[in-house]
Amino acid sequence: MRIYKTKDYNEMSRKAANIISAQVIMKPDAVLGLATGSTPLGAYRQLIDWYKKGDLDFSETRSVNLDEYKGLAPSDPQSYAYFMQENFFRHINIKPENTNIPNGLETDENLECRRYNSVIKQLGGIDIQLLGIGNNAHIGFNEPGEAFEKETHCVRLTEDTIQANSRFFSSMDEVPRYAYSTGIKNIMQARNILLIASGTAKAQALYRSLFGPITPLVPASILQLHSNVSIVADEEALSLILEKGLL
Ligand code: F6R
């Protein structure tokens, strides 16, 4: 595991974008595992900027997103499909047919989970999986206590996550209670993993994930067992680790 310490969010974003762009340059048809949330926004902005300058080409790149709220249509501004369009896809030359996100409108959970797993398999697996981390150390929507063996599944969100995500909605009641998420097994099968974190709210989760026991109670702790993980985190997110002299 490599840990890159950055001074702040902007430097974290640039470093993460550098790692992703290296992947796209080395393998133009790379399969990018993508995430939503606040943390990757800066990295997406940086990649868009490099694309606009002519330094990056996404015409052959494929993508699979980690998750989607169940019940939301892609046209819903709160959906992750909408988020990806607005914050990344519509600004670059990735082909819409090469992007994949779980279908929030599919009510048959088994069908959608099976479909999404087979999409990932047909793409030949994920070359680099970008991850944020929840305050409770969730990755994707894999909440504490879920089995590490899971592939794509339908998750009931925890109160912690509903609370954290309510900042994007006008009220807590509007936050969907269920989501489709790729599982820890899908994430661990990615050839490379890039986890990004910024801010003191992530310090505890990051410390427990990287230096604590490997347990489903701390979902990101499983990453300690992956052979190709890069962590890019700012000083605030690493504060507990730095304080303990572990880095
Ligand atoms: C997003 C996702 C989540 C977020 C996590 C952190 O697709 O799967 O695991 O990465 O909740 O969210 P932010 O970046 O908003 O703090």
Q: Where residue 118 falls among pLDDT bands split at 50, 70, 90?
A: very high
- Report pTM: 0.97
For ligand 1, residues with CB inside 6 Å are: 35-39, 66-67, 132-134, 138-141
Q: Which residue's CA is minimally distant from atom 11 of ligand 1? A: 134
d(CA 211, CA 197): 15
d(CA 247, CA 203): 13
Segment 101-116 shows an average pLDDT of 98
Query: For the chain, what is the mean pLDDT?
Result: 97
Report how far ligand 1's centroid is from the alpha carbon of 28 (Å): 26
Phi and psi, residue 198, nearest 5°: -145, 140
pLDDT tens readout for residues 19-37: 999 999 999 999 999 999 9
Catalytic residues: 67, 136, 138, 143
Q: Which residue's CA is minimally distant from atom 10 of ligand 1? A: 132
Which residue, 191, 184, 183, is CA-closest to 113?
183
The three-state (H, E, C) secondary structure of the chain, written as one string: CEEEEECCHHHHHHHHHHHHHHHHHHCCCCEEEECCCCCCHHHHHHHHHHHHCCCCCCCCCEEEECEEECCCCCCCCCCHHHHHHHHCHHHCCCCHHHEECCCCCCCCHHHHHHHHHHHHHHCCCCCEEEECCCCCCCECCECCCCCCCCCCEEEECCHHHHHHHHHHCCCHHHCCCEEEECCHHHHHCCCEEEEEECCHHHHHHHHHHHHCCCCCCCHHHHHHHCCCEEEEEECCCCHHHHHCCCC
Q: Relative to the CA of 35, which ligand 1 atom is closest?
A: 7
Edge-first strand listing for the sheet containing 67-69: 67-69, 178-181, 153-156
Report how far ligand 1's centroid is from the alpha carbon of 180 (Å): 14
Q: Where residue 164 falls among pLDDT bands split at 50, 70, 90?
A: confident
Residue 7's contacts (CB-CB under 8 Å, 6 or more residues apart) are 234, 235
What is residue 208's predicted lDDT score, i.e. its pLDDT?
A: 98
Segment 100-120 shows an average pLDDT of 98
Check whether 160 has a pLDDT greater than 90: no
pLDDT tens readout for residues 180-234: 999 999 999 999 999 999 999 999 999 999 999 999 999 999 999 999 999 999 9
**Angle, vertex CA 32, rays to CA 56 and CA 164, nearest 5:** 110
Q: Relative to the CA of 39, which ligand 1 atom is closest?
A: 14
Q: Relative to the CA of 139, which ligand 1 atom is closest?
A: 9
Check whether 149 has a pLDDT greater than 90: yes
pLDDT tens readout for residues 34-55: 999 999 999 999 999 999 999 9
Segment 89-115 shows an average pLDDT of 98
Q: Which residue's CA is minimally distant from atom 1 of ligand 1? A: 36
What is residue 161's predicted lDDT score, i.e. its pLDDT?
A: 86
Q: Relative to the CA of 80, which ligand 1 atom is closest?
A: 7
Report how far ligand 1's centroid is from the alpha carbon of 37 (Å): 4
What is residue 32's predicted lDDT score, i.e. its pLDDT?
A: 98
Report how far ligand 1's centroid is from the alpha carbon of 202 (Å): 11
